[in-house]
Chain A
Amino acid sequence: MSADTSPAIELRGASKTFRTPSGGLHTAVRDLDLTVRRGEFVAVVGPTGCGKSTTLTLVSGLEEPTAGEVLVAGEPVAGVGDKVGFVFQQDATFPWRTVLSNVMAGPRFRGVPKAEAKEKAREWLARVGLAAFEDRYPHQLSGGQRKRVALAATFVNDPEILLMDEPFSALDVQTRALMSDELLELWEGTGSSVVFVTHDLEESIALADRVVVMTAGPATVKQVFDIDLPRPRKVESVRLEPRFIEIYREIWESLGEEVRITRERGAAHVA
């Protein structure tokens, strides 16, 4: 199979076990099979703390699987590659760099000449609507603006694969819907494959081509749903469509059970 026809991401029986500080073993991901096609937007939903984020770190090469295989563009992942972009849940902008310098960081790290990096960075800052803020430092921006910087800093590298770990969960509801729309706009031009981890089912349906429901931890794929809502979508309006509500109900039946299991476990821990 040539590299061009192989799927963007393939996880085959991937497991990840961590050693906890107290010496025990914690399995975050168990026997995970998942395929993401090229140019596809996949959302991964699951109860909080089930190991969704670990799946992303395996694909990114930040962590190695304990067992199984992780392939990106048909090749096994060995360390952090240059095909991957990652938007983190927490703020990961460099506080001592200006906005422009933050967006330039990726190309500069990859050896792009300064002038070219600056030009590309300005282009992406304009696209996320922060052209006027290039000389600011991150602490002078709002949370939503900092997220935009993070998006620009990720997209400027032209990633084939975009991994997003609850990127908008720290934002307020209105900003969140706005950012989701912007993400879709930015993504639609690039043809990259996206894995978007969230615990918000509405967000996942509004954004994705396919929604993957994870089991309560250790995480493994429970069920996969195709989302047949037409694109381009507007997050605020699509969630009012009857088909959306139908899909929501269908997926919640699957997800709700896992959430309940997690909740019961939490209660057992407290008791």
Chain B
Amino acid sequence: MSPEVISTPVVDTVKVPDRARSRAQAARRRKLVVNAARAVLLVAVLGLWETLSRAGAIDPFNFSMPSQIWDQITTWVMHGTAQGSLGEQIWYTLQEALFGWLIGVVAGVIFGIALGRIAFLADVLGPYVKVLNSIPRIVLAPIFVIWFGLGSASKIASAVVLVFFPVFFNAFQGAREVDRNLVANARILGASDRRVTLQVVIPSATSWIFTSLHVSFGFALIGAIVGEYIGATKGIGLLVAQSQGTFNAAGVYAAMVILAVVALVAEGLLTFAEHRIFRWKPANSDS
């Protein structure tokens, strides 16, 4: 072993970090190019939209233009909207979405795990769950406004019905697909049924559940927005509805931009939480 090490040419030991450095450089350069291309694409699309709109090739009344949308956002930020400050509207919508999401997720996980673990429940409730799932649940939003009024309760309710099903089905599937060996092993080691559920089934179902959490937060936002759109006193959905009512296309687009930012931030937070929880998973199993 040692003679080999000694006889290793000096050039080699220099070459290796050299190659590593050039590889790192290439990777950096590629990242830069990708980011630059993204920026160029964005500027091109916005620029094209702006010039076509200004030239009158597309109707600015219907399609607005980026500069008007930007003006609208700054107006909302600086002077507030017709029903209060912009922050208040965002917070209102976010709160409804968050409550609806939490309730939907908790209910979905509990029902999913329960039906996944208890075959009798699954057999009895299975067909009903399927029927409920096949209803286009967004049409319930107007009904919830009638039931719960213009306040936040009706929006939370429509967020809940949208969130519940994807979370439920994933939790159910996750509970069903638990490795039988792990369950057998836990039972041999002395785990009671309750322990098996809490310490084997739920941890192994979490990756299934998390998959649905990403999608379902988007659904919660949709539920809240649609609820607000139909009838509300505050919120981004109301901004959309009012802008539409006053033929303010820029307002509609501005509200959409704000929503997109909110959804992206929420998604980022969720990914961060996921990385913390799944430290036990081998790296690059997803992504």
A, B: real partners = yes
A139 touches B280 (CB 8 A): yes
- Which of B184, B186, B190, B281 is packed against the most chain A CB atoms within 10 Å? B190
A206 CB within 8 Å of chain B: no
B282 CB within 8 Å of chain A: yes
User: For the complex, what is the distance from the CA of A86 to the CA of B191, rounded to whole Å?
Assistant: 14
A109 touches B184 (CB 8 A): no
Contacts A88-B184, A139-B280, A139-B282 hold; do A157 and B189 have CB atoms under 8 A apart? yes
Number of interface residues of A (CB under 8 A): 26
User: For the complex, what is the distance from the CA of A106 to the CA of B189, rounded to whole Å?
Assistant: 5
Number of interface residues of B (CB under 8 A): 22
CB neighbours of A110 from chain B (8 A): 189-190
Cβ of A196 to closest chain B Cβ, rounded Å: 16
CB neighbours of B13 from chain A (8 A): none
B188 touches A60 (CB 8 A): yes
Would you call the interface of chain B mostly helix, strand, loop, or mixed? helix
CB neighbours of A232 from chain B (8 A): none
B189 touches A97 (CB 8 A): no
Contacts A94-B182, A94-B200 hold; do A84 and B188 have CB atoms under 8 A apart? yes
Partner of A92 from B182, B199, B206 at Cβ < 8 Å = B182
Partner of B188 from A62, A90, A91, A139 at Cβ < 8 Å = A62
A178 CB within 8 Å of chain B: no
Cβ of B26 to closest chain A Cβ, rounded Å: 30
B287 CB within 8 Å of chain A: no
B187 CB within 8 Å of chain A: yes
Digitize B244-287: 1 where CB-to-A-CB distance is under 8 Å, 0 elsewhere.
00000000000000000000000000000000000111100000
Contacts A109-B191, A153-B189 hold; do A86 and B184 have CB atoms under 8 A apart? yes
State the A residues within 8 Å of B (CB): 60, 62, 80, 82, 84-86, 88, 90-92, 94-98, 105-106, 109-110, 137-139, 153-154, 157
